[in-house]
Structure 1
Amino acid sequence: MLTAVKRIGVGPDGVVRSGWKVAGFFGLCVASVMGAAVLVGMFGPAWALRDGQPWPVVAVSALLIVGVTGLCLRFEGRSWADAGLLPDRVRLGQLAAGMAGGLVLVGGLAWMLMLGGVLHWEPNRPFTTSLMVSGTLYFVCAVLVEELVFRGYALRRLAEGIGATAAVVVLAVIFGGYHLLSVGSSVTVKDGGAELAWTAVGPLVGAIVFGFAAVRTGGIALPLGLHLGWNWTQWHFFTFPADDNPVGLWTPLVSAHLAGDPAPFRVGYLVTMGLAVAAIAVMTRRPQHPFTALAPRLP
């Protein structure tokens, strides 16, 4: 443990090591989100927030964090290509594959739960086209922010200090903690207990899957697609009226005998994440990107 700490500090030659770079990057990202919220609050048009999806804040945050990432790369004399963030045909293909995979995973989970008699759906008739647009913009920008922060620059720099496997785990824990802080005060989890713990554990498991995809492909395109496809489809299938987000295309109705029992959803989620890891491993049997050199212990 002490060796790992030494590797992420400041070396005897005065060179800033990966841990301090990641800490500085996170600090700039937090400042970017706070700045975006202030700017939108001061200058954002009222019509942009009328559907309850704060996409302008996350859109401005995404732009600022792209700038922060570029600044950090420039400081180190690295390029966007070095960070796996330069779009090309391969990356765009990975993005598309990830989006399709996320949609299939959530759809498969919904299908399994339906066959198991856990829940069914009815159309959400108040759902509007404008809500679809604003909700889609929100998820695109929010997922981009999270992937840039947790699977972009930070993952690469931390992997250089402690190895890719440890870096994925460390950032997954931080990702879970971030979700705990952001939604831990909501009505459904504020009483604590298992519900509050799952608020962190669920995203932590997802972050390990996304981090695995990032390491295996050397960039954020595949995890970005998976994350976006998952979140966007989940919005339409698994958003309940009591949740913070508006209900999507369908309203889920849980069977009366399972009301209040989250076990089928949590077990289904873990099984689905396991299938996602297996699919990623099959898709990237022979990863060729230089990032894999940072991950000798990652299968």
Structure 2
Amino acid sequence: MKSLFFNAENSLRNGWKILGYFFMTALFVVGLIFIRRMLPDTVRPFVPEVVLAFLGAFVPTWVCSRLERTSLAAQGFAISKASGRDFGLGLVGGAGLVGLTALGVWLLDGFHLVRTPDGAASNLLKGAGTMLAVALFEETLFHGYAFQRAIRGMGPLWSQLVFATIFALAHPFDPAMDGSVRVLAMLNIFLAGWMLGYCYLRTGRLALPIGVHMGWNWAQGSLGFGVSGNASKGWWTPVLHGKPTWLTGGDFGLEGSAISVLILALVVVGLARWKGERTHQELPTRATA
């Protein structure tokens, strides 16, 4: 029984740590959202669900780090000049990747943009806050404690494959979506998950993947495209020209476009060749079973 739960160093196996973390996160997220729904209608808008979801993933990270007698910085939550730089570069980089995708679709006569008449500035600010909370939640969940323990147990390659797959499957897809768009959307989100995993692996901090994730989503929403199938209202509104949905992504957004697949694939290859800072490699990437 000991070998099932503990390794040769008498430490709980990484697989059980990951399961425990996800179990705690599910309890916290569901519990916090349940409490929010019990609040008065006048209070509820000031407590966004996505912020509670982030807290629901962050608190178990703190609990697990305390149990292991490590710090939040060791889980990628370092607060430093380097983290600020990573976040800023990620924000610009994520927005730039969306810009390149939009440019490619536009050059192929996929759409044109028209200015949103009213409320654009407030929509942008609200979208920034929402997308930051989304990025914090999803990066904590998919590339924080659980991902890092998977690296210790399975190594980077298998961890990337498993968590990028989970990342893609965790995004909802409309059953009415065209089959080709569904395939492209799932492939895009899988590649995005792989890219964001590399962003952590190459820096040892979560600031870069959080910045890239926020910049990607915020830029899509600001241009008026759907964000993973969720409608948005930004500074502009895209008017599609009736081109195939595999090119434009249709209502799903640019994440359903073949252009995005090409760009993300090139970025993943580039990150695979970049050696990064390697600070995270102070931790074992392959623990004894």
TM-score scaled by structure 2? 0.84
Letter in 2 for 1:273: L
Cα deviation 1:55-106 (Å, max 9, x = unaligned): 7111122123221101011111111222221211111111111001011111
**Percentage of pairs with the same residue:** 24
In 1, Cα distance between the equivalents of 2:226 and 2:17?
Answer: 40
1:70 aligns with 2:62: yes
Offset at 1:136?
A: 2.0
Q: Distance in 2 between the 1:136 and 1:45 partners?
A: 24
**In the aligned structure 1, how far is the partner of 2:241 from the partner of 2:137?**
36
Q: Match of 1:274?
A: 265
Equivalent residue for 1:235, pick from 221, 226, 229: 221
Q: Confirm whether residue 28 of structure 1 aligns to residue 24 of structure 2.
A: yes
**Alpha-carbon offset, residue 110 of structure 1:** 1.3
Structure 1 residues 294 and 14, CA, compared in 2 at 3 Å: closer, same or farther?
closer
- Check whether the contact 1:8–1:162 (CA below 8 A) recurs between aligned residues: no
Per the TM alignment, residue 173 of structure 1 is displaced from its structure 2 partner at its CA by 0.9
More deviation, 94-103/192-201? 192-201
Q: 1:124 Cα shift? A: 1.8
Q: How far is 1:294 from its partner?
A: 4.8
Give the deviation of 1:203 after TM superposition: 1.5
Question: Does residue 172 in structure 1 map to residue 164 in structure 2?
Answer: yes
**What residue in structure 1 maps to residue 230 of structure 2?**
244
* Cα distance in 1 for residues equivalent to 2:118 and 2:147: 41
Alignment of 1:81-230 (within 5 A): 81-179=73-171, 183-184=172-173, 186=174, 189-190=175-176, 193-230=179-216
Residue 71 of structure 2 is matched in structure 1 by: 79
Q: Which amino acid aligns with 1:215?
A: L
Name the SS of the counterpart of 1:15 in structure 2.
coil
Task: Check the 8 A contact 1:124/1:250 in 2, yes or no.
Answer: yes
CA distance in 2, matches of 1:123, 1:8: 60
**Matched letter for residue 37 of structure 1:** I
Distance 1:48 1:251, change over 3 A: farther
TM value normalised by structure 1 = 0.82
- Equivalent position of 1:43 in the other structure: 39
Distance 1:153 1:264, change over 3 A: same
Letter in 2 for 1:227: H
Query: Given that residues 191 and 265 in structure 2 are in contact (C-alpha distance below 8 angstroms), is that contact kept between their aligned partners in structure 1?
Result: no
1:55–1:138 CA contact under 8 A, matched in 2: no
Question: Could you say if the C-alpha distance between residues 81 and 203 of structure 1 is closer, same or farther in structure 2, counting changes exceeding 3 Å?
Answer: same
Aligned letter for 1:69?
T
SS at match of 2:205: coil
Give me the whole-angstrom Cα distance separating, in 1, the residues matched to 2:166 and 2:238.
30
Give the equivalent residue in structure 2 for 1:289: 279
Matched, 1:261 2:245: yes
Contact 1:139–1:231 (CA under 8 A) maintained in structure 2? yes
1:286 positional shift: 4.7
Mapped partners of 1:276, 1:69: distance in 2: 29
* Consecutive unaligned residues in structure 1, runs of 5 or more: 1-6
Unaligned runs of 5+ in 2: 250-256
Aligned with 1:251: secondary structure? strand
Task: Please tell me the root mean square deviation across aligned C-alpha atoms, in Å.
Answer: 2.8
Offset from partner CA, 1:250-294 (integer Å, 9 cap, x none)? 1111213x1x42245522111221343355457x53523033765
For 2:254, the equivalent position in structure 1 comes to none
Kept in 1: contact 2:32–2:52 (CA 8 A): yes
